[in-house]
Structure 1
Amino acid sequence: MQTSMTMMSTTSGPKPLSIVDQRRATIVPINPPTEEDVGDKSSTCGTLLIFLSVALVILTLPFSLFVCFKVVQEYERAVIFRLGRLMQGGAKGPGIFFILPCIDSYARVDLRTRTYDVPPQEVLTKDSVTVSVDAVVYYRVSNATVSIANVENAHHSTRLLAQTTLRNTMGTRHLHEILSERVSISGSMQVQLDEATDAWGIKVERVEIKDVRLPVQLQRAMAAEAEAAREARAKVIAAEGEQKASKALREASEVIGGSPAALQLRYLQTLSTISAEKNSTIVFPLPIDLITYFLKTNDENTKQNAKAAAAAIARTTVEAIAQQQQSTAM
């Protein structure tokens, strides 16, 4: 009984720790440094470096002034970094500004408007027509600090975005819209680019579509269609003119037929027109009523009288024509 109780008490006691467990128990947990601790250390180190830089400037006077003072033009801004961080106050310029050697660096940013010719882009329109479109983009840097800190190369990024925006915009339009609505398409592209590049400190001022080149076969088909349309319009105009002319002639014939005096006046006008021409041969038109009278009459005396009257009319007319020609020659 005592032996069994001794064995039970021995087995029920705590187990001894292994060597690995003992080493783990001796390890003290290390907490990672917080941002405040890192900030305090970096600020302390930064203050020390600034003090050393100022001391270097003082010791190397006046030669250090050529390194510390910089000038930017009216159209430029300087974005200054001190120990890798943007300095407060934004971009400097225009004019003169001061930097500390060894710890300050700066980047010049040009604020003038730039022009980018978008290369011709092969685009498949909404109605499955392949066209080549190129454009011009006018943009400038509106925020120098953002253009340096938020994007690696603001100008290159803007140009790539202009190419993709041109392809995407043209791909959603029909061919007739691209040819006839260039102004609205340019405005839509300008709004899209301006919104996308605002986070890069870029302002897109204007977008212009330069040229839309169509395939040769499509150009020929459109030219043939335009030629057919022009011919159709010409035929319609000619038909309308003939209709108006025939109507005017009909009205004139009605007026002349109802008035013998008007017919005689028209006859004299015709003779005057013939006499005005410088021809050796003069065609003398006989009145149709006189010829009809010759054909109908059977009396010899009447025929002779009619012939004499016709000869008298002819002489009178020839004399009038001669006088008309003399007056014209004078």
Structure 2
Amino acid sequence: MPFSLMVCFKVVQEYERAVIFRLGRLLSGGAKGPGIFFILPCIDAYARVDLRTRTYDIPPQEVLTKDSVTVSVDAVVYYRVSNATVSIANVENAHHSTRLLAQTTLRNIMGQRPLHEILSERESISQHMKALLDEATESWGINVERVEIKDVRLPVQLQRAMAAEA
């Protein structure tokens, strides 16, 4: 009997929550934790959700700007799960979905702006991207905390032309 009770008690850390499903339905009361919680073996299933801030380094994206210049842009997105139950129930893989959305949002935003604006207004572009990502991921239980544009690389020919002009 004591061994079988050990299987029923689970522990989640301070930075985690457990979303419990009983016979395939979400258990009322929301996510459990931190601390000890009870599950019924063979009836309950649970998923652990890490609430700590995650970073995603968006790989360099080749983007055609509004004025038809191809640039390579990379950025970093800081995000975290704000609602564990929603992040498990509303989207299959919230982290992967957030990463894909960050890549496409970066490409879309950069494609709508001319080169001089991309180079001079990186902070406002970052804020705009954060607002768009946060709005889109809210229904997934994700909160985008920060977006930073790391680097904007120009084509070699354009770099040479700008250097010759200066």
Q: TM-score, normalised by structure 2?
A: 0.99
Which AA in structure 1 matches 2:154?
L
Question: Of Structure 1 and Structure 2, which has the larger fraction of its residues in helix?
Answer: 1
Structure 1 partner of 2:104:
164
Taking the aligned partners of 2:3 and 2:74, their CA distance within structure 1 comes to 53
Taking the aligned partners of 1:84 and 1:132, their CA distance within structure 2 comes to 45
RMSD: 0.5
Which AA in structure 1 matches 2:19?
V
Deviation at 1:62, TM superposition (A): 1.2
Q: Which runs of no fewer than 5 residues in structure 1 stay unpaired?
A: 1-60, 227-330
Taking the aligned partners of 1:65 and 1:187, their CA distance within structure 2 comes to 50
State whether structure 2 residue 127 is matched by structure 1 residue 183.
Answer: no
Runs of 4+ aligned structure 1 residues displaced above 6 Å come to none
What is the SS of the residue equivalent to 2:104? helix
Matches within 5 A, 1:84-163: 84-163=24-103
Structure 1 partner of 2:142:
202
Taking the aligned partners of 2:93 and 2:40, their CA distance within structure 1 comes to 26
Deviation at 1:108, TM superposition (A): 0.2
Structure 2 partner of 1:220:
160
Question: Of Structure 1 and Structure 2, which has the larger fraction of its residues in strand?
Answer: 2
What is the SS of the residue equivalent to 1:151? coil
Taking the aligned partners of 2:25 and 2:129, their CA distance within structure 1 comes to 35
Deviation at 1:160, TM superposition (A): 0.2
Taking the aligned partners of 2:129 and 2:3, their CA distance within structure 1 comes to 52
What is the SS of the residue equivalent to 2:79? strand
Deviation at 1:119, TM superposition (A): 0.7
Structure 1 partner of 2:15:
75
Find the structure with the greater CA-based Rg. Answer: 1
Taking the aligned partners of 2:12 and 2:161, their CA distance within structure 1 comes to 58
Taking the aligned partners of 2:6 and 2:89, their CA distance within structure 1 comes to 27
Deviation at 1:150, TM superposition (A): 0.4
Deviation at 1:65, TM superposition (A): 1.4
What is the SS of the residue equivalent to 1:63? helix
Q: Which runs of no fewer than 5 residues in structure 2 stay unpaired?
A: none
Which AA in structure 1 matches 2:13?
Q
What is the SS of the residue equivalent to 1:223? helix
